[in-house]
A and B are shown apart, each in its own frame.
Chain A
Amino acid sequence: MNPIDTVNNPVPLVELKGVHRVFGRGESAVHALAGIDLKVEPGEFLAVMGASGSGKSTCMNLIGCLDRPTAGHYSFDGIDVGALSADQLALLRRHRIGFVFQGFNLLPRTTALENVELPLVYQRVGSAERHRRALETLNSLGLLHRAHHTPAELSGGQQQRVAIARALVTQPVLLVADEPTGNLDSSTSQEIMELLTGLNREQGITIVMVTHEEDMAAFASRIVVFVDGRITRDELREGGTSCSGTPS
């Protein structure tokens, strides 16, 4: 997919309209998101920034279909997420979305290969095909020689690359990354960011990345900044493909 073509796509991949997310009830209720409008077009690389408690993680969970809005409307690739059941959300994540976490979250004492195969197990892919695709993905990330190592035998950067392979093996349309470099040193962070940028540019994978580091956000094509549950800044950077956010 060429990112340039997607500008003409009539349906944005992610479209939030007046989204609220409230935790708790009554007096103790916390308004984590207080009316968010955000569009992400296919092929964008969006960095979500903000202080802790600003609502950026809540927003990322919503975009990743791990959660549903309390009020407002979220459509993912034209699908109304608010109307889906928990199992339907699981199926949506299974087939369309990949996740990369700050803490890598690889299964311990399980080889890199088995970790990468895991999403395909839930997709009911046969074991030979699973094997082939997992090895192919690991190979494309330069980790073929590490396929049979467990996370404990891998460096942080390698672990994160295995996690990225796990997210990519299902060929998702959206990659959601929660502080992917948060646990890595600066040179490894640089590597991971270059990897993500490459995936975005060359394979056209849409990426939504939460970070609080300016340096990392600088790799994205667009940056939105959250303050107190609202988007206060939405800027397109060099190489950006779209500008659809509406700061409130």
Chain B
Amino acid sequence: MFWNTLLMSLRAIQRNALRSFLTILGIVIGVAAVVALLTIGEGAKAQVTKDISALGKNLLSLHSGVSHRPGASLMSARAFNLADVDAIRRDIDGIDHVVPSASARSLVVNSNVNWSTTITGTTADFLPCRGYKLEKGRVFSTAEEASGNLVCLLGATVSKEILDGDEPVGQRIRAGRVSCLVIGVLEAKGQAAMGQDQDDLVLMPIRAFQRRVAGNDDVSPIYLNVSDSWSSTAIKSSVESLMRERRGILPGAEDDFHVRDMQEIASLVQGSASVLTALLSAIAAVSLLVGGIGIMNIMLVSVTERTREIGVRLAIGATSAEVMQQFLVEASVLSGLGGVIGLGLGLGGAALATRGMGMPFLPSPLVATAAFVFSVMVGIVFGFLPARRAAGLNPIEALRHE
């Protein structure tokens, strides 16, 4: 009987194809909006996670200054120095790389081409620590690191901008006020999560940088790679207590430095992305409600219009429960159909949008199932009133209806 009712409602929908389509338009748009937003949200979250892990695996960074109190305190805090880096290397287990860094914005010049970029003094470990790879040439040798030779590695962007296709390795460029020899070029890494270009950098040995570019011994930040089997929280706290000791911070006094955990930042960003997605989806879900009311409207009209048909069905022996079932099934088939069309449109839209924004397209079976089930539910809920009205008709009066 249910199968027959289903076929009957499909026929009824087919007989009124245009009206049926207009009826479900609200559901179609609602489901499409929710599905598209959720799918794009998933893609964005995956993209952010990928970007943050691209900054370096299990990366901690140690900054001087206080993170939650910007301004004056940041300026007044002492920077780290290479002795701090050696102390971490010596005293704390569970760290793959300890990489000092110090940066300055500066012009780099090759013959008559200028490019403003960030010059970072660091060690060769900077590459594995931050997830960079060498495209050509070589990294700094231990001797170059120790003596502070003026050699440098170019980020892909810098290499493209100032050398424009010329062989970079062996070139001599000017970085700030010093002339330095290009020994290698980094592979392109693309945009970071916040949109900045990760390939716009020049690396040189930290001693050379301190001596010839910065003119001081400051190091900040220090990057740390936590080994796989170690917890980044534990390493973070041992680094903190070591630094408190070295910097002579009394118990109870506040740290004048802070450790950033990329894992933590990733989950924060993901959390806020989820909240935003949920909020937008909730707004889109309102249109599902409106769509449901649209279905109720049309079903009520349909019951009035088909009063005689209902009369005939009752006269030839349909029970009121069967008439009710027929209209409920009709409403839920309509809205379910709207759900399926909306799902298709939503996924299609999300596929286009994520491709346009360079994010991964991650359709979720859970979202698809939920969208379908929910739209059928909308039909049942909003079909109930019209169906009950149809079922409550008196056959004699229904047959007499003009």
Contact = CB atoms under 8 A, between A and B. Distances in A.
Given A66-B396, A87-B321, A101-B399, A107 B309 contact: yes
Interface in A99-144: 99, 101, 103, 105, 107-110, 114, 118-119, 121-124, 127
B308 A90 contact: no
Contact of A118 (B311, B316, B320, B396): B316
Contacts of B1: 121, 124
A183 interface: no
B165 interface: no
A101 B320 CA distance: 21
A61 interface: yes
A201 B145 CA distance: 117
A95 interface: yes
B314 interface: yes
A93 B322 contact: no
A44 to B, nearest CB: 21
Interface in B1-49: 1, 4, 8, 11, 15
A119 B11 contact: no
Contacts of B318: 90, 94, 122
B292 interface: no
B273 interface: no
A91 B315 CA distance: 10
Nearest to B402: A103
Contact of B320 (A87, A93, A98, A114): A87
B124 to A, nearest CB: 78
User: Interface of chain B, helix or strand or loop or mixed?
Assistant: helix
Contact of A91 (B319, B320, B395): B319
B317 A122 contact: yes
A166 interface: yes
Interface string B276-315: 0000000000000000000000000000000011011111
A154 B309 CA distance: 18
Contact of A99 (B309, B315, B322): B315
A63 to B, nearest CB: 12
A86 interface: yes
Contact of A95 (B308, B313, B314, B317): B317
Contacts of A87: 319-321
A94 B320 contact: no
A94 B396 contact: no
A67 B396 contact: yes
B317 A105 contact: no
Q: Which 9 A-B pairs have the closest CB atoms?
A: A94-B317, A90-B319, A93-B317, A119-B316, A109-B15, A87-B319, A105-B312, A99-B315, A122-B317
Given A91-B319, A110-B11, 7 more contacts: A67-B396, A90-B317, A90-B320, A93-B315, A99-B315, A118-B313, A122-B317
